[in-house]
Amino acid sequence: VVAGSGDYAGTQINSDNMLWSLSGSIALVHKILFGLELRTDSLSFQPFIPEALSGKQSLTGFRYRDMVLDIETEGYGNKILRFTIDDIATNAFAVPATLKGKHRIKIILDGFTGAENTINKCANDFSPETPQVKYEDGILSWDIIENATGYIIICNGKTIDTTHDNHYRVESNGYAEYQVVAKGLSNTISFASEPLAVYEKDMCISLNIEDFAGPVAGEFRDYTGRGYIMLRKNENGDITIPVDIPEKGTYSIQIRYANGNGPVNTENKCAVRSLKLNGIDSGIFVFPQRGAGEWSNWGLSNVAIVSMEKGGNILQLSYRPENENMHGEVNDVAVDSIMLIKTGL
């Protein structure tokens, strides 16, 4: 919703049948109205029924481990007056995880909703925009963020410095990942920027994927090597890439790709593929859309972190049933090259 009005008008996407809407509605029923909490040894209950919903509420056929529960609440409030399992009263307000079969839970509430609370109304406040960081010749740089009072420099997940400038010099010594956080007025902070890897060029092994599969395409621009290949649900479903590793260690793997199947914010055409290393499941690659028709707009996938042995290793990039996206039909991506970087982390 819009912070200033609480209205959905003016937001990006609104729908009452999207996954986040459905999961939110289910959570409202399960976690609030019936107060369900799934614990390691039990299913506990702490319902809250507003007075406006006073009366009987029921949740039938709820499956929990080896049991099926029919749950009924009566009254309103947030304090339990009586709790029964199959008409047997208990003060535990929980069902043990060892219970099996079908059972009936009845909860009577005492009508207490708590003392009236005051509202601490305050003016809206906003965090600064997230910095978009670039690296060149030993310097991190980013555009000046509006209303930022300074910037926090993070290296490998730890704060190392602060600055008031929109640039920062770093030492290229091995592999490091940098992020920048903008500090705002009233002690607000931005999200940390996307992690930016800084490393020596000879630490990266880059392989053109078209050397291991085909057909090789060249319609789009700005690819490397001889071209690129298309991955579709029914094309190049399993690609094997042998790679010779000079030194045992931890490596990050990324794929240079293009996905012009739709805009960045909708249509659900993100491509997904599974990674195996020497026959062992080792991660998932996601290839989000980069803009409608933006097939010459190349970017990088997420990173898979793997442990690799010195010498010959086999990477497999596959389409599997669990790689299905929300679109259901389009799961295409153009892949150009695969990069392996020894992180030492």
Domains of the chain and any CATH numbers: 19-109 (2.60.420.10), 134-198 (2.60.40.10), 202-342 (2.60.120.260)
- Mean pLDDT across 16-34: 83
Confidence of residue 43 (pLDDT cuts 50, 70, 90): very high
Closest CA to 45 of 30, 32, 35, 33: 35
Distant-in-sequence, close-in-space partners of 264: CB < 8 Å, separation ≥ 6: 288, 289, 290, 291
| Mean residue pLDDT across the chain | 93
- Mean pLDDT across 324-334: 96
- As a whole number of Å, the end-to-end CA separation of the chain is 40
Closest CA to 284 of 262, 253, 308: 253
**For 60-92, what is each residue's pLDDT tens digit?**
999 999 999 999 999 999 999 999 999 999 999
Per-residue pLDDT, 1: 66
Closest CA to 105 of 53, 47, 50: 47
Reading phi first (left if > 0) and then psi (alpha if -120 to 50, else beta), residue 288 is in beta
**For 109-162, what is each residue's pLDDT tens digit?**
998 777 777 888 888 889 999 999 999 999 999 999 999 999 999 999 999 999
Per-residue pLDDT, 17: 62
The residue whose two tokens read 């009254």 is 75
- For residue 304, pLDDT beyond 70: yes
Q: What is the DSSP code (8-state) at residue 232? A: B
Confidence of residue 19 (pLDDT cuts 50, 70, 90): low
Confidence of residue 331 (pLDDT cuts 50, 70, 90): very high
The tally of CA atoms less than 13 A away on the side-chain side of residue 226 is 12
Per-residue pLDDT, 14: 64
- For residue 51, pLDDT beyond 70: yes
